[in-house]
Structure 1
Amino acid sequence: MDQTLSSVPSNQSEALLTIRDSVMMIPPDECIERASQCTTTPVNESSLCASVNSSALDQFLKVAAPNATGPLNLCNFTVLQFACLPTLSQLNSQQVADVLACKQPSNVGKETWKLFFTKTSTNLDDALLKFSNMTPSPSNVSLSDVLDVLVEVRVDRFSPQRLRDPVFIRSWFQGRLKPFLPSVSQRVLSCLSNKNLTCESYRTITEAFVNAPLRDGQDVCFPPQPNATQRQDLIYKEFVKAFLSRNDTDDPRCLRNSTNSTQWINRNFGPFVQSAPLTDLGELNRNFTAVDVLPLLSLRQLVEFSVTPGALKDPPSVINVMELVKDCQLSAFFDDLSQKVKDVRLTQDVNAALIKQIFDRANLSNLNVTNQEVLVWFQNRLKPLLANLSESVVSPFFTILSTRDCNITQSALRLLNLESSIPTNTKNAIYNSILQSFRGPQPLRCYRNNSFITFLNESLFGFGPLPNLTTFLSLIPQPRKSELVNSVSPSELGTYLRQLEVMNNDSQICVIFNNFVRTPEFLDTEDVPDNLKSAILPCVWPLALTSDNQTEIDLWFNRRLRLYLKFLNKDILGSKDTLNASCLSYRKMVNVLGNNFTFNGSQISSTDVYTTIKTYLKADTDPKCYKPSDATLNSTAWFVNHIGIFITFLSLDDLYSFGSERTIKTFTVNPENLKLFNQKTLPKNVLSRYTELVFLQNPSFSLFE
């Protein structure tokens, strides 16, 4: 009959096909030619019905009025009772549909359904049509088994002509079988994919699966339920891919009349394309171009495309993909991308474009986004994109960090520090941004009362050295200068100052030592290069000149400044600090410069020292630094103590400027002073005046004693 039908004109074939359809309901399963994937369910009616009593049902159907056999009454009986009736010819198509609509126990098996459908075959097609138009009931069970059996008893018996008739196929798959398709099984899908379908018939069946409520596409922000995802993936694998992979159809891959990738996908896949790996699509169609169908792809496929070498070749290609990713899908997209992009070498500008998408859309500066979520973004989703980081993303990166707590900031910077491939210009930008962050609206907001230098070292994360002195000081708010300078130990300060390029402005170093309370300890313990000593001396010189404690003064000149004094210059020597020195400090200075100082190669001369001496000692009445009532200042060896070896520069005018004759003459007879004047070459007028003063003080003084 099938051979005859193939040569019958189309206007005469429908009647013959209808006859053929009826005839094909008669043969047993073993007489039906099937593909190996189309298995059958064996039925042993004797065994199945051995313990079933259908007499009550039989009696009910014989005597009940037609209007009494509606679904409310029919549902009082089981499918097995119907199947085990001697004949079901008395059931009309509506009653068969009503039985299908009854709530059935979960243990109704395929064998029962097959026996039931076999006995109702006369009215089955019409019953299925009526059932498909009913409001579906969520209480129906075993629909997958029902569909399996319906494919056995009806679809497997379709003629080759029916299988190639899209209208006929539509009447079944988008009509009679529609209620059962959401529960389609792997067996049915595999069986259908091996039928002798045309591409048009295949598309009709695919459309039927699309119309069944499987899962929404990528436009929905909420992820699909796992069972819906599994069902759609199953349809793709067992039906769509299986059929399109065949080489024995009239139009393998259904490529005919498809002018581009979009048309081919829309016609042959529909939403099931979202279950296909892009590699599958390329294998099925060697002219397939993924970039042409991006709007049709799922989130997973957009990630797969993104990690395909060469797919994301520039920022515009990134934008093309990311425009299809909704904000609510952003985290899921980058969760997947971060796992797959590790082995893909993206260019710097592509990385930057992806990071920009995160910074622009993930609202990481919004405090409604928790710190924990921000941490997930940095540590998981952003991490693979940090290699070869572009300088352009540094500023927005720090804008986000400025709104986050310090733990987030440190975690993010630690992550950056682990990337060895970050270019130098980007590292410099990160370094400068870190320094700038210390100044911000909340200066040093992450400082926790530890050493300021330690804080800087830890906060810079190796992106650059400690800043030069000018920058270092600019990071400290003025009200906190003393606090932060004194948070540093002398050894830390010494280590910092010894670093190359730290000393960019000598004058700034005095800001440190004007606030540093442990300067004596620093000078005692820290050895610094000569250029630093030269810069430090003007800062600490005043500290050596203010004390009235001889022990402390000795420590300053004998130990702390011992290696610094060679850098004395005229400015320091003639400074207000020197001219306002305490008497004991001044006296120590004169002693050290007169006995322990080498002027050769120095920036000062003996004359310079004497110039300071005569300025310091100038007095209108009482000589400076002489107080008979003060045990520390009552020595009459005044010239020795306050001028020393520099007495050789003394002029007569200077002598007169040191104080009144009444007091000065008391110094002249002091043995130490006499010895000093005896040993040094002085101007004659100075010696004459000094001798005169001696005799004024002691007329009986003997020059020969």
Structure 2
Amino acid sequence: MGGPRTLSQVLLLSAFGIAFVSSTVSVTGNTTQENSTSSTPSTVSKESCRGVNLQDPSRSIFAAVDSLVGELSCKRKENASLSEDSFVEVEQNIRRIVESSIKVFLDLGTNESGSDVLEQIGILDNLDVENYKDPSFIRLWFSLKMTFLLPFVNERFLIQLGNKNFSCGSFQELVKSLSEGIEPSQTTRKQQIYRNFILGYLTRKNLEEPGCIENVNGSEDWVEKNLKSFLVFATLQELKTINSNFSTRDVLEKLSPRQKAELILDPESDESGDVDIVREIITSVTKSGNEELLTQFFQDFTQLRKQVLNS
């Protein structure tokens, strides 16, 4: 009973202790209000159950989590005395805090929209300039915090995320985590992430490294680092606008049927007149054995051809 506390107990007490203090302050305020309006206790009771009082405790919990993530990231970089197993245990314990806190917040709160959930929790509040340039912190932040909130991500949040001054390394860590965290079948969600976050960030001119085109070994490496599975949602024109050295030849196998059709029909593309590339594209879609892929290619080709002829 009186023995030393485990690491898990310390983490839970630190996070929920902060939330308890905030909750106590909130309750004290409500009690004062109730005493001053004792003639209408039913009204006060209704006011206190609308979920608005959950915001401060929830933000406190997630602020504590950010502090724990920052400390964990720091100790990892400094090769602290903690063993790898201890690091893994800490990550698992923080993950439990976040998962259970979100569940409690959603169970007790009102049916807010995704935007309100993210704002009330204050998901971006504790990211600062140092974090923006620290890929290891961003990896932990996403793994331990954002993973459980992906269902609530929407256009407004993604635009906000794309406007943060992440270093290319941190941005690439986010793209990797999002690519792994979103199911391939969630095409609408993935397209939303590409349009509002990835494209928004890569087309910004006020970054230290616009387009993240430095420290890459060719177009395939650039795509792998900055687009991952979101490549198929880009147009070839967007890719060339972001990266003037972009080569479709280097990533031909990764292109979607629509992108391949776009390549053949693009009058400004050097590759469109390249017989070898055209032959390679046709061969790749006809010999794939995937009838759905073949149908999609010719549908896209027909649609894009009409657009070219009418332009």
- What TM-score do you get using the length of structure 1 for normalisation? 0.30
Structure 2 counterpart of 1:149, from 109, 119, 126: 119
How far off its partner does 1:277 sit?
Answer: 1.0
How far off its partner does 1:291 sit?
Answer: 2.1
The residue number in structure 1 matching 2:200 is 242
Does the 8 A contact of 2:258 with 2:300 survive in 1?
yes
Q: Mapping of 1:497-516 within 5 angstroms?
A: none
**Cα distance in 1 between the residues matched to 2:253 and 2:113:** 34
Structure 2 counterpart of 1:262, from 220, 224, 235: 220
Cα deviation 1:510-556 (Å, max 9, x = unaligned):
xxxxxxxxxxxxxxxxxxxxxxxxxxxxxxxxxxxxxxxxxxxxxxx
Distance change in 2, residues 1:265/1:79 (3 Å): farther
How far off its partner does 1:128 sit?
Answer: 6.0
Determine if the alignment matches structure 1 residue 207 to structure 2 residue 160.
no
| Paired residue secondary structure (2:217) | coil
How far off its partner does 1:143 sit?
Answer: 7.9
The residue type equivalent to 1:331 in the other structure is: T
Structure 2 counterpart of 1:306, from 249, 253, 264: 264
The residue type equivalent to 2:118 in the other structure is: D
**Cα distance in 2 between the residues matched to 1:341 and 1:316:** 20
Cα deviation 1:563-583 (Å, max 9, x = unaligned):
xxxxxxxxxxxxxxxxxxxxx
The residue number in structure 1 matching 2:211 is 253
The residue number in structure 1 matching 2:87 is none
Determine if the alignment matches structure 1 residue 339 to structure 2 residue 308.
no
**Cα distance in 2 between the residues matched to 1:311 and 1:275:** 20
Q: Mapping of 1:268-417 within 5 angstroms?
A: 268-309=226-267, 311-313=271-273, 315-325=275-285, 326=288, 327-328=290-291, 329-342=293-306
Distance change in 2, residues 1:260/1:153 (3 Å): same
Does the 8 A contact of 2:265 with 2:305 survive in 1?
yes
**Cα distance in 2 between the residues matched to 1:303 and 1:120:** 50
**Cα distance in 2 between the residues matched to 1:121 and 1:173:** 13
Cα deviation 1:127-166 (Å, max 9, x = unaligned):
86215678x99x988683465226x724233221122111
Distance change in 2, residues 1:122/1:170 (3 Å): closer
Cα deviation 1:363-384 (Å, max 9, x = unaligned):
xxxxxxxxxxxxxxxxxxxxxx
Determine if the alignment matches structure 1 residue 198 to structure 2 residue 198.
no
**Cα distance in 1 between the residues matched to 2:146 and 2:94:** 7
How far off its partner does 1:51 sit?
Answer: 4.1
Please provide the CA RMSD for this pair: 3.5
- Higher relative CO (Cα under 8 Å, sequence separation at least 6) belongs to 2
Does the 8 A contact of 1:206 with 1:269 survive in 2?
yes
Cα deviation 1:579-637 (Å, max 9, x = unaligned):
xxxxxxxxxxxxxxxxxxxxxxxxxxxxxxxxxxxxxxxxxxxxxxxxxxxxxxxxxxx
Does the 8 A contact of 2:271 with 2:277 survive in 1?
yes
Structure with the bigger percentage of helix? 2
The residue number in structure 2 matching 1:35 is none
The residue type equivalent to 2:276 in the other structure is: P
The residue number in structure 2 matching 1:130 is 96
Distance change in 2, residues 1:161/1:314 (3 Å): closer
Does the 8 A contact of 1:148 with 1:187 survive in 2?
no
How far off its partner does 1:287 sit?
Answer: 1.0
How far off its partner does 1:123 sit?
Answer: 4.8
Does the 8 A contact of 1:261 with 1:289 survive in 2?
yes
Distance change in 2, residues 1:306/1:128 (3 Å): farther
**Cα distance in 2 between the residues matched to 1:158 and 1:51:** 36
The residue number in structure 2 matching 1:159 is 128
Does the 8 A contact of 2:65 with 2:98 survive in 1?
no
How far off its partner does 1:312 sit?
Answer: 3.9
Does the 8 A contact of 1:79 with 1:116 survive in 2?
no
Q: Mapping of 1:25-174 within 5 angstroms?
A: 50-52=44-46, 80=51, 84=53, 114-118=55-59, 120=61, 123-125=64-66, 129-130=95-96, 144-145=114-115, 148-149=118-119, 153-174=122-143
**Cα distance in 2 between the residues matched to 1:208 and 1:79:** 35
Does the 8 A contact of 1:129 with 1:175 survive in 2?
yes
Does the 8 A contact of 2:132 with 2:170 survive in 1?
yes
Indicate the percent of aligned positions where both proteins have the same amino acid: 26
How far off its partner does 1:298 sit?
Answer: 1.7
The residue type equivalent to 1:287 in the other structure is: N
How far off its partner does 1:250 sit?
Answer: 1.5
Distance change in 2, residues 1:147/1:172 (3 Å): farther
The residue number in structure 1 matching 2:15 is none
**Cα distance in 1 between the residues matched to 2:303 and 2:166:** 41
The residue number in structure 2 matching 1:588 is none
Larger radius of gyration: 1
Unaligned runs of 5+ in 1: 1-24, 26-44, 55-77, 85-111, 216-223, 346-705
Cα deviation 1:56-100 (Å, max 9, x = unaligned):
xxxxxxxxxxxxxxxxxxxxxx882xx64xxxxxxxxxxxxxxxx
The residue number in structure 2 matching 1:188 is 157
**Cα distance in 2 between the residues matched to 1:205 and 1:211:** 10
How far off its partner does 1:181 sit?
Answer: 1.9
**Cα distance in 2 between the residues matched to 1:292 and 1:251:** 22
**Cα distance in 1 between the residues matched to 2:47 and 2:250:** 63
